[in-house]
Structure 1
Amino acid sequence: MSALFRTGALPQGEGPLYLRLQALIRGAVEAGELKPADALPSERDLAEGMGISRVTVRKALTGLVEEGVVEQRQGSGTFVSGGRRKLQQGLSHLTSFSEDMATRGRRTTSDWLLRSLERVTPAEAMQLALSPGDLVCRIHRLRRADGVPLAIERACVPATILPDPGLVGASLYAAMAAAGRHPVRALQRISAANLSADEAALLGVSPGTAALAIMRVSFDEEGRPVELTQSHYRGDAYDFVAELSLSDQGRS
């Protein structure tokens, strides 16, 4: 077995072992140490060689499959994926960008595009159940994972929840939780869009590139709207995945 997968090879840190194993494999792929179509050792060999449990190995590989870093072939094993890798996000849970990237072991950073208090627009007032003239906190950011620009987020939150844009640090949801108004559910609409020249420049792609346009309205425990966010995700780097099950009517 390659020295890459021997005891002591895991990156140092206090994070969960499965995230550290993911970081090791992801880093080897990005550095070219592991190339497309290269086979990884079996779960058993990885576990024995690195001194960790097979459950930990399986959890790490499952996450890498979801990211598109590796692929598993029935009866053959696990292989490094070829071509461009996309991040995948499930649609069954409400998470922030920071939370989603943290579960993948990715480092999240943001470029601030706008932080201000402004009057609500008529369209925003309808979505957030506000009155004309009410103030909203606007948070516009370019979101990065490991330095790679992935999304432009334009969030709007009632000023009664966030009266100071400076309260928002790495995570908008963390700031809202500190104010006692953390979102617990959301309605989200995803559609196709083409990036403007300004948006494309921020995301490092060509003008007119296909993107995923997302509008999300989030609600607190009492059913009150607390957040309106409109985002553009790079279509070449991100996928949204939903798990579906057959309805009772379909079963009958």
Structure 2
Amino acid sequence: MSLLRLRDDTAMPLYQQLEEQIHALIMSGALPTGAVLPAERQLAENLGVSRVTIQRAYAALRQRNLLSSQGRKGFLVRSRPEQVHPGMDRLKGFTEEMRELGKVPSSRVTERAIVHDRSISSIFGLPSTAPILKLTRIRCGDDIAMSREVAWYNLKAVPALEHGDLSGSVYAFLADEAGARLVRCEQTIEATMPTAEECRIFDFDEPSPCLLIKRHSFSDAGVMIEYVEGLFRGDMYSYRLKLRT
């Protein structure tokens, strides 16, 4: 804490200066995992600022999942998951992406059901009575929950999905078992906040910004096979793009 220096010659609020300085110390390793930061009152007295300033800085760091409260003892620096930097240069599933990044992929199916959903059917351009396979999974890399994925599949186009083994890569199953390899997709990425259930899945003390990726995937025959809404941890994912003129 002796490294903290608050300035009065800048427009940046004191709490934000404090937040950014502590964040930098954590990222550099100067404040390692398990380090205990002073309680709010103590740090406020040491720095000569109001307790509200410390509360706002600590609250912001907790939202970034960098600190956890230890009550009167202060705040503990949390372990930081290793961030991944997947590319977006081609269509690939989560399993393939994790292997390319040197991680061991795994999935936990939390829901698998045949549904009749008017709104989802309309996305596929199917009648409201069309059967759709809904598959909800927690996707992990090296046993760390990285995304919660809700996917819907066109059973009219790929009936083998209804009883197929989808415990592994669905993309591999489609290509190798069902003869319906996915060749292109339309994808959007937007920022969102996780629900209470998703915070529990990601082990968040407080909601932290995540990436919501929506994907429409098509076979080589131009038939839409998959619609996915995947919530990805914002503290672990940093996508990179290569653009050319």
Q: Shared fold by TM > 0.5?
A: yes
1:139 and 2:140 aligned = no
Within the candidate set 100, 106, 110, 2:107 is matched to: 110
- Alignment partner, residue 220 of structure 1: 219
- Alignment partner, residue 203 of structure 1: 202
Mapped partners of 1:179, 1:141: distance in 2: 20
Letter in 2 for 1:218: S
> Equivalent residues in 2 for 1:1-252 (5 A)?
85-119=82-116, 121-160=117-156, 161=158, 162-177=160-175, 178-246=177-245
- The answer to whether the 8 Å contact 2:84/2:101 transfers is no
Mapped partners of 1:231, 1:202: distance in 2: 13
The alignment's TM-score, normalised by the length of structure 1, stands at 0.62
- Alignment partner, residue 61 of structure 1: none
- Structure 2: where are the runs of 5+ without partners? 1-27, 31-79
How big is the shift at 1:36?
A: 6.5
Provide closer, same or farther for how the CA distance between residues 221 and 131 of structure 1 changes in structure 2, counting only shifts above 3 A. same
Secondary structure of the structure 2 residue equivalent to 1:241: coil
How big is the shift at 1:152?
A: 0.4
Residue identity (%)? 25
Mapped partners of 1:207, 1:112: distance in 2: 25
How big is the shift at 1:195?
A: 0.3
CA deviation map 1:112-146 (0-9, x unaligned)? 11111111x22212221211111011111000001
CA deviation map 1:183-220 (0-9, x unaligned)? 10000000000000001111111342110001000011
Letter in 2 for 1:220: S
Letter in 1 for 2:110: L
Secondary structure of the structure 2 residue equivalent to 1:239: coil
CA deviation map 1:22-63 (0-9, x unaligned)? xxxxxxxxxxxxx979xxxxxxxxxxxxxxxxxxxxxxxxxx
- Alignment partner, residue 3 of structure 2: none
Show structure 1 runs of 4+ deviating over 6 A: none
How big is the shift at 1:166?
A: 4.3
Secondary structure of the structure 1 residue equivalent to 2:85: strand
- Alignment partner, residue 12 of structure 1: none
The alignment's TM-score, normalised by the length of structure 2, stands at 0.64
Letter in 1 for 2:134: R
Letter in 2 for 1:115: R
Mapped partners of 2:210, 2:217: distance in 1: 22
How big is the shift at 1:228?
A: 0.2
- The answer to whether the 8 Å contact 2:218/2:226 transfers is yes
- Structure 1: where are the runs of 5+ without partners? 1-34, 38-82, 247-252
Secondary structure of the structure 2 residue equivalent to 1:242: coil
CA deviation map 1:79-103 (0-9, x unaligned)? xxxx763101111110000001112
- Alignment partner, residue 4 of structure 1: none
Mapped partners of 1:165, 1:210: distance in 2: 36
- The answer to whether the 8 Å contact 1:143/1:151 transfers is yes
- Alignment partner, residue 73 of structure 1: none
- Alignment partner, residue 23 of structure 1: none
Secondary structure of the structure 1 residue equivalent to 2:182: coil
Mapped partners of 2:145, 2:163: distance in 1: 22
Mapped partners of 2:163, 2:188: distance in 1: 26
Mapped partners of 1:126, 1:194: distance in 2: 26
Secondary structure of the structure 1 residue equivalent to 2:98: helix
Mapped partners of 2:188, 2:155: distance in 1: 24
